[in-house]
Amino acid sequence: MVKSLPCRTKMTLLSNHGIAARPLGLFLFLSHDEENFVMTPHDRPDRRRFLTQSLAFGSALFTTSGVFADELTKTPKQTEGPFYPDKLPLDTDNDLLIINDGITPAVGEVTHLTGRILDSSGNPIRNTLVEIWQVDNNGAYLHSGTANASKRDTHFQGYGRFLTGSTGEYYFRTIKPVPYPGRTPHIHFKIRKASKELLTTQCYIKGHAGNDRDMVLRGIRGPKAMEALMVEWTPIKNSKIGEYAAKFDVVLGMTPEA
Ligand SMILES: [Fe+2]
C-alpha cells in the first residue's frame, strides 16, 4: 500500500556538504537481530563465547592476505539502459522524495537505501560518486523518451547522487521501485571516481515475482552473481508510514587510487 510522506525538510538528510546524517545511517545498518537482541542471564555465557569466537575468526581473516578477498563477489555490471536522465534535475542530492525546498513529497513507498562501495578486498572506497536513477511510482523515468510521461510524478527527483566518505557508505531516501512494461523493479547505479566510470549496474528486490521473467536479470551468469544484485526490502519496525530499509553493497573489481 502506498502511503504519503509527512512533510519534512531536506535538513533531516543533510549534514556537511550533502552527506547523509550519520545517526540515521548507523541505525539502518543494524540488522533485525541486532535491533531485537536482548541478553538474558540464561544465554549470557553462550553469547560471550560466540562474540569471542567471532573476533578471533575476524582477526585471522584480516591477517591472512588474500583470504578475505576470496569471500567477496564482485558486483556484476548491467546495462545502463536508455533512460539515464537526458537532463539532470535542478536538485541532484540524495533525497529523491523532495525537490529543493518543495513541500509536496513524491508518491511511493519510502525506502532508506544504504550500502558501501568496496574494493575487491573489502576495503571502503572513499570520494566515490554514487549515482542512482529509477522510475517514479507510475513507471516514468526522468527522461524525455520515457513511457507514461503524462503521468510522471513531478515531485519525484528520479535521480540522485552521493559522494562517499572514509567508510565508503552511501545513503539515499527514495521509493521502492515498481515494475514497468518489460522490466522487473530495479534501481540503476553508476559509480564514478573523478571522471572515470567504474561500474554501471542495477539492483533488484529479492524474491520479487517478476525477477524470473526479466531479460536483463536473466542475462547474468551464475547464482552468486545474481545474488549479488538482490536486495532485501525490510519494513522498518514502528514506522508510521510503512518505510523500508534496503542495503546494497557494491564490490568493485579493481582498487582505484586513493
Ligand atoms: Fe530501468
pLDDT given for residue 72 in this prediction: 87
* Per-residue pLDDT reduced to its tens digit, 55-94: 333 333 333 444 454 668 999 999 999 999 999 999 999 9
Does residue 38 register a pLDDT over 60?
A: no
Residues in the chain: 258
53 alpha carbon to ligand 1 midpoint, in Å? 43
How confident is the prediction for the chain on average, in pLDDT?
79
82 alpha carbon to ligand 1 midpoint, in Å? 8
pLDDT given for residue 68 in this prediction: 53
The structural domains of the chain, with segments of one domain joined by +, span 21-64, 66-251
Give the model's confidence band at 13: pLDDT under 50 very low, under 70 low, under 90 confident, else very high: low
Residues, CB-to-ion distance under 5 Å, ligand 1: 81
pLDDT given for residue 106 in this prediction: 98
How far apart are alpha carbons 97 and 231 in whole angstroms?
A: 20
pLDDT given for residue 96 in this prediction: 97
How far apart are alpha carbons 117 and 115 in whole angstroms?
A: 7
Does residue 215 register a pLDDT over 80?
A: yes
pLDDT given for residue 48 in this prediction: 33
Does residue 214 register a pLDDT over 80?
A: yes
Q: Look up the CATH superfamily of 66-251.
A: Aromatic compound dioxygenase (2.60.130.10)
Strand partners, 172: 113
57 alpha carbon to ligand 1 midpoint, in Å? 40
pLDDT given for residue 69 in this prediction: 47
How far apart are alpha carbons 127 and 207 in whole angstroms?
A: 33
Give the model's confidence band at 255: pLDDT under 50 very low, under 70 low, under 90 confident, else very high: low
191 alpha carbon to ligand 1 midpoint, in Å? 16
Give the model's confidence band at 165: pLDDT under 50 very low, under 70 low, under 90 confident, else very high: very high
Read off the pLDDT of each residue in 88-115 and give the average, rounded to a whole number.
Answer: 96
Does residue 6 register a pLDDT over 70?
A: no
